[in-house]
Structures are given as structure tokens and as C-alpha cells.
A and B are shown apart, each in its own frame.
Chain A
Amino acid sequence: MEEHELNATMDRYATGDDHAFAALHRGLYPRLHAFLTRMTGNAATADDLVQETFLRVHRARSTFAAGGAVVPWVYAIARNVHIDHARSAKLRTTERLPSDPGAEPIGKSDADAESAAIAAQAAAVVENVLASLPDAQREAFVLLRYEGLSVQDAAAILGATPTAVKLRAFRAYEALRAALADHVPERAVAKESEGRARGRARA
């Protein structure tokens, strides 16, 4: 569903059209689930948090401004759900569960086995480093890099200035880049090879 269609659907929902919820849910669920999986490192936890997010969307629907943008609005609510979950998790002092493998990887049969192994290792390093970052840096990085939000939207969601958001995201990037260089040096070699191959193809 296009963004303007989602906005119109949320507008209808905000004015009392309960039938709009199903379309809203279909349109936003994959993005929110991916976001919360990246933030928590656990797809099962993300399942629960997405449900909570939609419940809060329902409760807060009257605050959605006419003509507003629903995607960053919903991300802000999802972030709040994650904050509350993280705070209660600290009180419960549960250990972080290892990341589950998720659904069957797509297209694996077509991928070079070594590239797939490097990619998997890089993904694991990124996940571990993201989990160890301060919340503020992780949120900024995830919103800008993976969720594709603008700096302005991310700043509104995080309640920070655009400058602060950029700086947080960049600090996260530096930590991730350093970890990838340390733990997955083959990735740099693979990227270099890819670059040379592209150069030869263009020549």
C-alpha cells in the first residue's frame, strides 16, 4: 500500500471507521515487525510488541492529525512500546534470548555458499553490536539506515534535534564498522573483489 493510501486509511480510522483497521494492519505490520525485530533482536518478542503497538494505535487514533503522515506516527508509538518493554524487562532481569533464526532465508539456494556464510556472520556481528549500543544510538541508526526515515521524521519520533539524531546514528555506524572490520575481515575482501569485478565489467 502506498504511503498516501495508508495516510488516508488512518484518517478514516481516526474519524471512527473501524473497518479501516484491517487495511492499516496489513499495510503497516511488516514494517513494524521488522523494526521491532531489529530493536529487540527477537522475532517472537517483536510479535507481541507489534500487537501492543496496534492496540496503542487504536487508543491514540483520535490524536492522529488530519492529513498527517501515519508511518512516522506509528513508528513513534512502536518505539514507545519498545521503551516500556525494555524497562519492564530490566525489572524482570531476564537474560537476552539468543536471536531466533526467523523464517527460512529466501533465495539461499541461489547464493554462493561462502558469500552467504560471510553475510550471515556479518549479520550476527551487526545484531550483537546493535544490542550493545546505547538505546539512543541504536534507535537513531535503525530508523535512518533500515527504516528509511528522514532525519526530520526520526528527530520527531525520538524527541531529539536533527543534529543529535545524525550524531547518534553516526556513532552507531562507527561502532558497527569497527566491529565488522575486526570480526568479518573477509567482508572487506569480498567487497573489494566485487568492486574490481564491476570495474572490469564496465571497461
Chain B
Amino acid sequence: MSDTRDVDLAELGSIPDPIAARAPSKAPEAKAPSERSLTRDERRRRYATLAGLAVVYLVLLLARAGLRPDLATGSILLQLFVWSVVVVAGLSAVVRPGSRGLPSSVRFVQIALFTVAATFTVISILGSQMDIPIDWTVTRGCLLLASTMSLGPLILAGFALRNTFLSAATWRGAAVGAACGLGGSIGVHAHCPIQSTPHILLAHGFPILLGAAVGAAMGASKGRA
């Protein structure tokens, strides 16, 4: 196998161009398509509106489910705050253009995806207790609520970002989905006071996996520009 240290791209120039003998194509006259398309400002407003709707959705579900009695505790607030920062940073890392307006590197997106999952896992483990056993009835309920909470942001993100990914659409979709899933995790964690580590990782963390899987599928099918 060739070693990349030996790669001399100057040698590529020795391969002739298969279409060199043809006259260059002349551009036919063209007008802008009549189909309506967003301008840059309109897209910014759309993103802001959809982000706001996602937050309203979560707040309404949370109001319906109720807040945990220890929500005002410093450690809980810190967990929720750190995860919220990771959601915003993760989405921003994937969606914001990189150098010269081109998409951020696929490695960067993969790191963002890993960071979302790792941050949730580490903070959950640190802030809970391993020796509290899992109650499957309660866990099922939390799993359903968490998944429902992540679904709204995921659908809204899918609508906002369809046909916008220039490359690595599956990875970008997965990263966005995981971030939306973490949004659902934040919502259910603001409701559920159970301190069992297995419960938190499974029931509160499942939306991250679900979001990543659904996001990857959406990215692959509808994400490419």
C-alpha cells in the first residue's frame, strides 16, 4: 500500500486530460430559475424561528410532565447548563461554515458527535449513583418522554437543514440528531429526579443514540445540497 509520505501530487500532472482535445463548452444564456428560494437573511430568520419553536416545544412538554423538585440544586443546574452549551456548540460546529465558507471537516463533525455523547455520559456518571437499581416501569416512562422530547427538535432541524449539507451528509445528520437528542435528554432530566446511573444512561441518554441514528438517515436521504 502506498505510504502518504511518498505521495507527490506533482506527478499527477503527467496524466493527460481525456477531454483536452475538445473545445471548451460555451455557456448558454440563462436566467435565474423562477422557483422561489430563500435568501441569506430569510434563512437566518427561519433558523431563529425554528430554534425558538424547538425550545417552546420542550418547555410545553416539560410543563405538562412537571419539574423535578430538586431542580434548583446547584449540581443539577450545572449539569443542565453544561449540556445546553454542548447542544448549542455541537449544532454550531456542524452547521456553521468553516474556512472560505466550506463545510467544517468531517473529522471535526465526528469529534462534535463524540463530544455530545461523551459529555452526557461522563456528567451523568459523576452526578448519579451506580448502586441504585433500575426500575423498568419508570425507565420505560422516561424513555418514552425523552424520545418524545427529542422528536420535535429533530423534525424541526430536519426541515431547517434539508438539502444544505455540501459533504459528509450522513455524519452531519448524525451529529445534528445527537445534539437534538441531547436536547431531549435535558428536558427529561429537568423532570425526572431519579439518581440511578443505569436509569439516567439508558432512559435519559437513549434520545442521543436515537437522534444520531435518525439524523444519519435523514442526512443521507435528504441532507445533500
Using a CB–CB cutoff of 8 Å, the interface residues on chain A facing chain B are 13-16, 18-19, 21-22, 25-26, 29-30, 33-34, 37-38, 41, 43, 54-56, 58-69, 72-73, 76-77, 79-80, 83-84, 99, 101-106, 108, 119-120, 122-124, 126-127, 130, 141, 144-146, 151-153, 155-161, 163, 166-167, 169-171, 173-174, 176-177, 180
**Stretch among B56-64, B67-75, B166-174, B209-217 lining the A interface:** B166-174
A169 CB contacts on chain B under 8 angstroms: 7, 9, 12
A106 CB contacts on chain B under 8 angstroms: 21, 23
Output the least CB separation between B217 and chain A (Å). Answer: 16
Can you report 19 residue pairs joining A to B where beta carbons are below 8 Å apart? A14-B39, A14-B40, A22-B30, A25-B30, A29-B30, A33-B25, A54-B30, A60-B163, A69-B100, A69-B101, A73-B102, A76-B103, A104-B23, A124-B18, A126-B15, A166-B9, A170-B2, A171-B2, A177-B15
What class of interface size applies to chain B in its complex with A? 35 or more
The reply to whether B35 and A58 contact each other, CB–CB distance below 8 Å, is yes
The reply to whether A59 and B37 contact each other, CB–CB distance below 8 Å, is yes
A74 to B29, CA, bound (A): 19
B35 CB contacts on chain A under 8 angstroms: 55, 58-59
The reply to whether B39 and A15 contact each other, CB–CB distance below 8 Å, is yes
Output the least CB separation between A90 and chain B (Å). Answer: 16
Output the least CB separation between A82 and chain B (Å). Answer: 11
The reply to whether B33 and A58 contact each other, CB–CB distance below 8 Å, is yes
The reply to whether B12 and A141 contact each other, CB–CB distance below 8 Å, is yes
B100 CB contacts on chain A under 8 angstroms: 68-69, 72, 153
The reply to whether B23 and A105 contact each other, CB–CB distance below 8 Å, is yes
7 closest A-B pairs by beta carbon, nearest first, are A68-B101, A159-B168, A159-B167, A29-B27, A65-B101, A21-B32, A102-B22
The reply to whether B7 and A167 contact each other, CB–CB distance below 8 Å, is yes
B13 CB contacts on chain A under 8 angstroms: 145
A170 to B20, CA, bound (A): 21
A65 CB contacts on chain B under 8 angstroms: 97, 101
Residue B131, interface by CB 8 Å: no
- Dominant secondary structure of chain B at its interface with chain A: loop
A37 CB contacts on chain B under 8 angstroms: 19, 22
State whether A180 and B224 are in contact (beta carbons under 8 Å apart), knowing that A63-B43, A159-B171 are contacts in the complex. no
The reply to whether B41 and A15 contact each other, CB–CB distance below 8 Å, is yes
B25 CB contacts on chain A under 8 angstroms: 29-30, 33-34, 43, 103
A19 to B23, CA, bound (A): 28
Output the least CB separation between A61 and chain B (Å). Answer: 6
State whether A161 and B106 are in contact (beta carbons under 8 Å apart), knowing that A30-B27, A62-B40, A169-B9 are contacts in the complex. yes
Within 8 A of A (CB), among B1-55: 2, 4, 7, 9, 11-33, 35, 37-43
State whether A61 and B18 are in contact (beta carbons under 8 Å apart), knowing that A34-B25, A161-B105 are contacts in the complex. no
The reply to whether A151 and B22 contact each other, CB–CB distance below 8 Å, is no
State whether A160 and B12 are in contact (beta carbons under 8 Å apart), knowing that A16-B39, A72-B100, A104-B23 are contacts in the complex. no
A58 CB contacts on chain B under 8 angstroms: 32-33, 35, 37
A103 CB contacts on chain B under 8 angstroms: 22-23, 25
Within 8 A of A (CB), among B155-210: 163-164, 166-169, 171
A99 to B160, CA, bound (A): 40
State whether A83 and B164 are in contact (beta carbons under 8 Å apart), knowing that A30-B25, A67-B101, A161-B105 are contacts in the complex. no
